[in-house]
Each structure stands twice: as structure tokens, then as C-alpha cells.
Amino acid sequence: MTSRARSIAVVVSILCLVATASPASAGKGQVNLAIEWNQVMLTSFATANVPAPASSRLAAIVATATFDAVNGVQRAYTPIHVEAAAPADASPKAAAASAAHDALVALFPTQRAALDAALASSLARIGGEEDASVEDGVAWGARVAAEVVAWRAADGFASAPPPYVFQSDPGQWQPTPGGSGAPRFRTLATTTPFALVSASQFRPLGPPPLDSARFITDLAEVRSLGRQDSATRTAWQTETARFWQLDTPPAYWDRVADTLAISSHLNLLKTARVLALLNIALADASFAVFDAKNHYNSWRPVTAIAADDPSWQPLMTTPYFQEYPSAHSGISSAGVTILESTFGPDVSFTVSSGGLPGVERSFTSFGAALGQVGDARVWAGFHFRFSCDDGAALGRQVGAYVASHVMRPAGD
């Protein structure tokens, strides 16, 4: 079987699994295509091996296209980018599938065959609608996707970053094992946000002084628990550190959103809105985090500890960019803020990680999950505790702003 054929088989299998296992898609005509295409998107990310820092922007592009396509037909909320102009009889389901499909084809052209097969499967299972309605929905979704993709193509992510000047002062970032040259993903700091006024809008105050009690305490914690051969980190903590490193933020939190949308019986439009809010918050938080990373240019634990213990190495290879604040804490915090605003703070859910098949983490609140994300970054040897705390605070601000400023009820 060719790699292209395998991709088609994977996508079709996912669609069949969702259609047969979830109450939101049980029976012809009842399929929630926002959820189905969110799963197709995550499969496309995995197939393309999209790096975690870049994933949230891409997910927000697809989610924006999907929401604006559905909302363009039903016109219940303010649009994100594309003004509602769909034909009155257009199928919102066909619009959702078409918009997500076309956005993904634009982002991953080599996956077109698999994505075309997924679109054909989705459209074949839309029941109770006239052919003309489906055709109008497909055409409208394609138009929305084209406009959204063109909009974000000019957001600055693909621009050349400014020259990077290495600094040798204590506390400043230095190259870490596993990479070379300037820190990566610097253009995230200058990418135009989806909802924020600017990436620096909620910039945190910065890491504590190197001679402060907070820095000394947090340095000792990561030195002990984050060491590759740590005698104090438990097997469960080691697994947890790996769990939260081996997937992308949209993969962790979109799967949770899909599950909760199904159990809450959200309709197509409300599901598309939740996923758009979630992924825009994840993306804007990534821009805000990297703005702060580039502004403060803070060193990693592996650099700080090497000053008096050159043999110290973290559990896993340190991500090749600046330390402060923690990206995973900041991005996850923005995501859980959106999910809390939709489903409430105290709800039971399970998180899975594509890098550790079969391993799950279950929670009864979003706060508990976010706390574990911060723990995992310390246990991995990547971050100081203050960086996780400040990242989480930053993400809360981003998530709250996104929730209150985009996709407002029409007329609000």
C-alpha cells in the first residue's frame, strides 16, 4: 500500500469511527461535521509531522474557515473574517466540510487525495437536503476557505526573522543540545494575532532576578526533578513529562473539546464556534508567549545548571528556543479558559497523547489539568516553575480576551 493510500485509509477509518461511535453523529443526517473535520485536521497534522509551536496557527486557520462557513449560512454570530453572504438555501453541513477541506488542502497540498476522499465521505452522509443546497454549501465553504487562507498568508509568520544577536550575560539564552544557530520560531512573536490587538498586549513582567529566593528555589526544583537520571522523579512523573511533550496543543485540547461537545449535544454551529474560540485562543497565546520569549531571551535550565554542573542533562531534549514563559503552560491555559467558559470549570474529561498510545490522563477540573501541564514541564527539565506560573497567567488573559471579543451573538 502506498503512503497516499494509507493516508486515505486512515482518514476514512476516522470518519467511520466517529460516525458509528458518537451520539452527535449517530444516523444519516445527524453527523456533526465540525467534529469530523476537526479529527481529519488532527490526522493531517500528524501525517505532516507539524511541529508543536506552528500547530496552533494552522488549527486556527481551519477552525476559522469552518466557523465562518457555517455562520455565513445561519448568521447567529459576528464573523471572524468573512462576512456572511451564503445563499439562503446553502447547506451548513456541506459548507463546514467544504471549508475545512479546502483550508487543509491549501495548507497540506500533498494530502489532497486523502482529503478529497474524506470530503466525498462527508457529503455522501448528508441526508435530508436537496442536491442544490449541498452544492451551494460546498461552493460557499470553498469561498470562505480561500478568503481565510489568503488573509492568514499575509500574517507575517512566513517572514524572515530579524537578525539574532547572541548574548553571553548570565540569564540570557544560549544554544542548547540538539540544535544550532538562532532560536527557532521567532516569527511567531511578530505574527498578526487572530483576536488580540497585539502579541505584546499581555506581556508578563519577566523572570525573577537570578539572586532572588524565587529563582534559587525553582532552580533547585528543576535541578532535582528534571535531571535525566533523577533519583527523586517517580516513574509516573517521568511518564507524565513525556505525555505532555509528545503531541501538539490542538491535538490535546481539540480532542477534549470534541468529546465534551458530543456529550453536551452541541449542534453544528455551536461546535464550530467552540472549536474556533479554542484554536484562536491557542494561536494567539502562542504569539503572546513567543513575544515574551523573544523580549526576555531567557536561558534554559540546562544552561543555568551547567554553570556549576556540566554533567546535568534534562529528561528530554530541550526545545530550541528561549525559556520564559513556558509555551505549553501559556497555550494550554488559554485553551482551558475557553473550555471552562463553555463547559464549566469542574467537568470530567480525559486527555490522550499521540506520542504515547494507550496512555491517558483523566481530570475532574480544567485547573487540575493545567497544573499537571506545569508540573510536566519542570519534570521534563525544560522550565523553571515561575515560567510555568507566569505562562499560565498569560494564557488566562489571552483566553478571556478571545472569549469576549470574537464571534459575539449577532446584534451584540
- CATH number of domain containing 199: 1.10.606.20
**Count: domains in the chain:** 2
Q: Residue 309 belongs to what domain range? A: 186-405
Do 190 and 78 belong together in one domain?
no
Of 153, 174, 200, which one is at a domain's C-terminal end? 153
**3-class DSSP state for residue 308?**
coil
Do 36 and 129 belong together in one domain?
yes
CA distance 228 to 183: 23
Phi, psi of 163 (to 5 degrees): -55, 140
- H or E, element range at 360: strand 360-363
Do 198 and 94 belong together in one domain?
no
pLDDT, position 22: 40
Do 309 and 192 belong together in one domain?
yes
CATH value at residue 137 = 1.20.144
CA distance 97 to 121: 10
Do 385 and 314 belong together in one domain?
yes
CA distance 370 to 265: 25
CA distance 137 to 99: 9
Per-residue pLDDT of the chain (412 residues; tens, 9 = 90+): 343 333 434 444 444 434 433 434 433 346 799 999 999 999 999 999 999 999 999 999 999 999 999 999 999 999 999 999 999 999 999 999 999 999 999 999 999 999 999 999 999 999 888 999 999 999 999 999 999 999 999 999 999 998 999 999 999 999 999 999 999 999 999 999 999 999 999 999 999 999 999 999 999 999 999 999 999 999 999 999 999 999 999 999 999 999 999 999 999 999 999 999 999 999 999 999 999 999 999 999 999 999 899 999 999 999 999 999 999 999 999 999 999 999 999 999 999 999 999 999 999 999 999 999 999 999 999 999 999 999 999 999 999 999 999 999 997 6
CA distance 310 to 142: 55
In a domain, 245, yes or no: yes
Do 145 and 20 belong together in one domain?
yes
Do 337 and 209 belong together in one domain?
yes
Of 153, 178, 204, which one is at a domain's C-terminal end? 153
pLDDT, position 31: 74
CA distance 267 to 364: 24
- b/e per residue 141-177 (b: at least 16 CB within 10 A): bbbbbbbbbebbeebebeeeeeeeeeeeeebebeebe
Of 153, 177, 211, which one is at a domain's C-terminal end? 153
> What angle, rounded to 10 degrees, do the helices at 131-153 and 52-74 form?
140
> Which residues are CB-contacts of 125 (< 8 A; sequence separation ≥ 6)?
19, 28, 31
In a domain, 222, yes or no: yes
pLDDT, position 30: 65
Cell, residue 350: 480525559
In a domain, 53, yes or no: yes
CA distance 58 to 254: 13
pLDDT, position 128: 83
pLDDT, position 127: 80
390 and 298 in contact (C-beta within 8 Å)? no
In a domain, 161, yes or no: no
The burial of 124, by beta-carbon neighbours within 10 Å (0-12 exposed, 13-18 middle, 19 or more buried), is given as exposed
Residue 191: CB atoms within 10 Å = 22
Do 112 and 212 belong together in one domain?
no
Do 399 and 254 belong together in one domain?
yes
CA distance 311 to 277: 44
Q: How far apart are the first and last CA of the chain?
A: 53
Do 145 and 193 belong together in one domain?
no
Written as one letter, the residue type at 167 is Q
Do 237 and 377 belong together in one domain?
yes
Residue among 70, 66, 63 nearest 92 (CA): 70
In a domain, 169, yes or no: no
In a domain, 412, yes or no: no
Written as one letter, the residue type at 82 is V
CA distance 336 to 364: 13
In a domain, 399, yes or no: yes
Do 250 and 118 belong together in one domain?
no
What distances in angstroms separate CA 277 from CA 5, 131, 171, 380, one per listed residue? 33, 31, 36, 29
In a domain, 410, yes or no: no
